[in-house]
Amino acid sequence: MGAWTLMKNITCKRGFTLLEIMIALTIFAIAAIVCLNGYLVSSSNIKSLSQRMNNSMLARWKVEELRTEDREAEEGEGIFPQPFEEYEWRMFLSDEVITDTEYGVLFIPYKVSVSGQKSSFETIVPFIKSEAGGE
């Protein structure tokens, strides 16, 4: 009977105490905040990279459009067609003019600038030839 009395005095714990639940919830909340922060930073970086890639692609598009046209390049600005209507382009003469005296040709580089919602991209169009003396 002595062992039975000893077993009755030891109470069996079932479940968790409020303190244990609070500690577990705190650890879970900290882990969730760290994961959410990582997700938000990654999402922001992906959006920024996507905008920069679009700017670069649209600038190349404008450069190729300029190369395929037979007419002389000219300064201008405008917006791209759908689905890129939120992007604007601007093309202007560079400050430099390079003269090739051997062939009598002027090389006039153009700058193409594309700007989107929160980012912009600028590139120099490969030198566009025009005859020396006729700017």
Q: How confident is the model over 91-117, as pLDDT tens digits?
A: 887 777 777 777 777 777 778 888 887
**Which tokens in the block code for residue 34?**
């760290």
Amino acid identity, residue 92?
Answer: F
Would you say 105 and 132 are in contact if contact means Cβ atoms under 8 Å apart?
yes
Give the pLDDT of residue 20.
92
Please provide the distance, in angstroms rounded to a whole number, between the alpha carbons at the two ends of the chain: 115
Total residue length of the chain: 135
Q: Given pLDDT bands bounded at 50, 70 and 90, which one contains residue 28?
A: very high
pTM value is: 0.59
Taken in order 39, 41, 43, 46, the sign of the CA dihedral is negative
Would you say 43 and 108 are in contact if contact means Cβ atoms under 8 Å apart?
no
Q: How confident is the model over 51-86, as pLDDT tens digits?
A: 888 888 888 888 788 777 766 667 788 888 888 888
